[in-house]
Every structure is written in structure tokens, then in C-alpha cells.
Chains A and B, each alone.
Chain A
Amino acid sequence: MSFFAIILSAFTVFTALGVVLSRRPLNSALWLVATLFLVAGHFAYLDAHFLAVIQVMLYAGAIMVLVIFVIMLLGIRDGGEFDKVALYKGLAVGLVLAGFVVIVGGAALRELEGLELVGSTRPSSILTASGGGVKQIGQSMFTDFLLPFELTSILLLAAIVGAVVLTLEPKRLLSAGRGLEAKRRAAGAES
């Protein structure tokens, strides 16, 4: 375990706490950007170079721009305060989660160091020396994972349509509905 990874992990936990504990949504968003960059650093450390790049470009770039854009658009300055009930609730939840971390950590320390692959593995999925690069990820994605890849396109299409429909002006949504209704009536009159 290198010193570098431990420092990176400490910063990751710190910035993650910043996301949850800052009062203003914009501060939260900036802490989250920092967390995403640090996770990208972890990816690079774990030899997943392509994922590190994607993490910065897609997550810290595209998704966070979207989030910050919405925060600015709605003009939400105050993220709401922690009242006492929420604080007690938070302490209880925190204790439970600390227990969860201890259990998972204990299991990880005791059992998982000897974790090995069981049975046969597809030869194409074994990491090569330049593993985590574009070449092997592309080969694996367009051979073994072709169907999930194509299904992702349907998911993204559904998300685009959903986002457009949800953000339509209520008036236009209504008139679109009326248009459908009129069409249906016209079709009914014809038949």
C-alpha cells in the first residue's frame, strides 16, 4: 500500500464529507467535483487509465455542468438547515453506517486478500500489460458486451425523451395533450 494511495483516500473521504455537509448546494457541487477528480486519480492508480479520463470528461465535465447549471437556473442559494430531529436521525444513521463500514472492512481484511478467479475465464477478459487502455476496453465492449452496449443506447434515448417531456412548459404539455385528443376524435369520426 503506497503512501500516495493513502493520501488520495484521505482526501477522497474528506471531500465526500464536504458534499454531504455543506449548506449551500453550489458548495456541495464543487466538493463533488473534487471527489470525482480524486476518484479519477484512484482509477489511474489502479491502472484503469481510460476510465480515469472518462471520469474527468463525463462525470466531472458533463454531468456536473448539468447539475451546476440547474442550481444556477433555479437560483437555490440555501440548501436548508439541519434541525435537531435531522441531527439525531443523522447521528443514528451515522452509527449504523459506521457499523456497516466496520463489518465490510473486517470481511475485506480477513477474507478477500486471497480472492481468486474460480473456473474458466474468457481469454479476452484477461487484462493485458496495457490493460485498462482504449484497445482492450474497446475489444471487450464490442465483442463480449455488445448487447448491453446496444441496450444502453435505448436507455439514453428514453432518458432524453423523458427529460424533454418533463421540462415541457405545462401549457405546451396541455396543448400537446389536446392535440392528441383532437386527433383521436378526428380518427374516431372517420371510422
Chain B
Amino acid sequence: MLSHYLILSAIVFAIGVFGVLLRRNAIIVMMSIELMLNAVNLGFVAVSNHLGVIDGQIFVIFIMAVAAAEAAVGLAIIIAVFRNYYSVETDEVSSLAL
């Protein structure tokens, strides 16, 4: 049971890393990051269930809060970048100055 879920978690995390490295659209990169966060959440809940301790589930709630904050700031950055470059392709945004 636990090993099944840890393997699933590793696979989903790997797919997320794959997306971050392969895609150049900033929004898809962000969604891949969400995928990785979800993989970690799955691992936390699986271990929490296996050990019979609730701490893992509390951690998942905090991770969700961080993910919400990350999505808000990340999408704001994407909008700011789009205003200046008219594109969200990460290849075309090579300057740090706005």
C-alpha cells in the first residue's frame, strides 16, 4: 500500500519535472509545478495513513496554502511579463529588467 503510493508519487513528480524542463510556455511550467506539489502531497498522505499519525495531513494543508500563494504571485508575474513582451514563452523573455 505505502510502496504503491510512493511509486505513484515518484511517477507524478517525475512527470512534473519533465514538464518544467520540456515546455517553454510559462503557464504550463507553472501547472507542472502544481503537479509536483500534488505528488508530494500524495506521498505525505500515504505515509500519514501508513504510520497512523496526523502530522502529514497538516503538512499537506500548509503545502496547499503555499501553492495558492505561489499561484497568485506566479500568475501576476506572468501577466507583468506578457504586458512587456506580448508572450509567455520562456525563451523570449531573456531580460530581467521590466
Contacts and interface: CB of A to CB of B under 8 A. Distances in A.
Interface of A: 1, 5-6, 9, 12-13, 16-17, 19-20, 25, 28-29, 32, 35-36, 39, 42-43, 46-48, 50-51, 54-55, 58-59, 62-63, 66-67, 70-71, 73-74, 76, 79-80, 82, 86, 89-90, 93-94, 97-98, 100-101, 104-105, 108-109, 112-113, 115-117, 121, 125-127, 131-132, 136-137, 140-141, 144-145, 148, 152, 155-156, 158-160, 162-164, 166-167, 170
Given A16-B15, A16-B16, A132-B57, A93 B22 contact: yes
A94 B15 CA distance: 8
Nearest to B79: A167
* Central interface residue in A39, A62, A126, by most chain B CB within 10 Å: A39
A32 B76 CA distance: 20
A66 B28 contact: no
B58 A115 contact: no
Given A13-B15, A20-B32, A127 B38 contact: no
B80 interface: yes
B93 to A, nearest CB: 13
A42 B5 contact: yes
A100 B34 contact: no
A153 to B, nearest CB: 9
A47 B8 contact: no
B49 A115 contact: no
Interface string B12-32: 101111110111110110111
Contacts of B82: 74
Contacts of A170: 83, 98
Nearest to A116: B51
